[in-house]
Homo-oligomer: A and B are copies of this chain.
Amino acid sequence: MKRSLVLALCLALTTPLAVPQEAAPLRGYSADSSRAERDWEIKFRALPDPAAMRGYMQRLSARPHHVGSPYDRDNAEWLKARFQEWGLDARIETFDVLFPTPKERLLELIEPAHFTAKLEEPSLAEDPTSSQKDEQLPTYNAYSIDGDVTAPLVYVNYGVPDDYETLDRRGISVKGAIVIARYGGSWRGIKPKVAAEHGAVGCLIYSDPGDDGYHSGEVFPAGPYRPKDGVQRGSVMDMPIYPGDPLTPGVGATKDAKRLPLDQAPTLTKIPVMPISYADAQPLLAALQGPVAPPAWRGALPITYRLGPGPAKVHLKLKFNWDLKPIYDVVTRIPGAVYPDEWIIRGNHHDAWVNGAEDPISGAIALMEEARGLAALLKQGWKPKRTIVLCLWDGEEPGLLGSTEWAETHAEELRRKAAVYINSDSNGRGFLFMEGSHTLEKFINGVARDVEDPETKLTVWKRRQFAAESSPQDGAEARTRPDLRIGALGSGSDYTAFLDHLGVASLNLGFGGEDGGGIYHSIYDDFYWYTHFSDTTFVYGRALAQTCGTAVMRLADADLLPFDFDNFTDTMRRYVADVKRLAEEKRGQIVERNRQIDEGMFAALADPREKSVLPTKEPAPPFLNFAPLDNGIAALERTAGAFDKALTHADENGGAALARAALKDVNDRLVTLERVLLLGDGLPNRAWFKHQIYAPGLYTGYGVKTLPGARESIEQKQWKQADEQIARVGKVFENAGEAIQGITSALEQAVR
Q: Cβ of A604 and Cβ of B302 under 8 Å apart?
A: no
| Complex Cα–Cα for A430 and B604 (A) | 10
Q: Give the interface segment out of A209-217, A418-426, A726-734, A743-751.
A: A209-217
B-chain residues with CB within 8 Å of residue A463 when the two chains form the complex: 604-605
Question: Does A601 interact with chain B (Cβ within 8 Å)?
Answer: yes
Interface of A is mostly: loop
Q: Cβ of A601 and Cβ of B217 under 8 Å apart?
A: no
- Please judge, given known A-B contacts A300-B302, A462-B604, A603-B456, whether A292 and B609 are in contact too, CB under 8 Å: no
Instruction: Count identical subunits in the complex.
Output: 2
Name A292's closest neighbour in chain B (CB-CB). B217
Question: Does A466 interact with chain B (Cβ within 8 Å)?
Answer: yes
B-chain residues with CB within 8 Å of residue A455 when the two chains form the complex: 607-608
Bin chain A's interface residue count.
35 or more
| Complex Cα–Cα for A650 and B409 (A) | 91
Q: Cβ of A469 and Cβ of B223 under 8 Å apart?
A: no
Q: Cβ of B292 and Cβ of A218 under 8 Å apart?
A: yes
Q: Cβ of B209 and Cβ of A514 under 8 Å apart?
A: no
Which of B217, B292, B467 lies in contact with A304, CB distance below 8 A?
B217
A 574-619 contacts with B by CB, 8 A? 596, 599-601, 603-605, 607-609
B-chain residues with CB within 8 Å of residue A219 when the two chains form the complex: 304
A 285-313 contacts with B by CB, 8 A? 292, 295, 298, 300-305
| Complex Cα–Cα for A304 and B596 (A) | 43
Q: Cβ of B215 and Cβ of A304 under 8 Å apart?
A: yes
Which of B209, B214, B300, B466 lies in contact with A604, CB distance below 8 A?
B466
Q: Cβ of A604 and Cβ of B458 under 8 Å apart?
A: yes
Question: Does A631 interact with chain B (Cβ within 8 Å)?
Answer: no
Question: Does A470 interact with chain B (Cβ within 8 Å)?
Answer: yes
Q: In the complex, what's the smallest C-beta–C-beta distance from A533 to chain B, in angstroms?
A: 10
Name A214's closest neighbour in chain B (CB-CB). B304
Name A291's closest neighbour in chain B (CB-CB). B217
Q: Cβ of B458 and Cβ of A209 under 8 Å apart?
A: no
B-chain residues with CB within 8 Å of residue A300 when the two chains form the complex: 298, 300, 302
Binding site for B on A (CB under 8 A): 209, 214-219, 223, 225, 292, 295, 298, 300-305, 430, 455-456, 458, 462-463, 466-467, 469-470, 514, 596, 599-601, 603-605, 607-609
Can you list 17 residue pairs at the A/B interface with Cβ under 8 Å? Answer: A209-B302, A214-B302, A214-B304, A215-B304, A219-B304, A223-B304, A300-B300, A301-B302, A455-B607, A455-B608, A456-B604, A458-B604, A463-B604, A466-B600, A466-B605, A467-B605, A470-B601
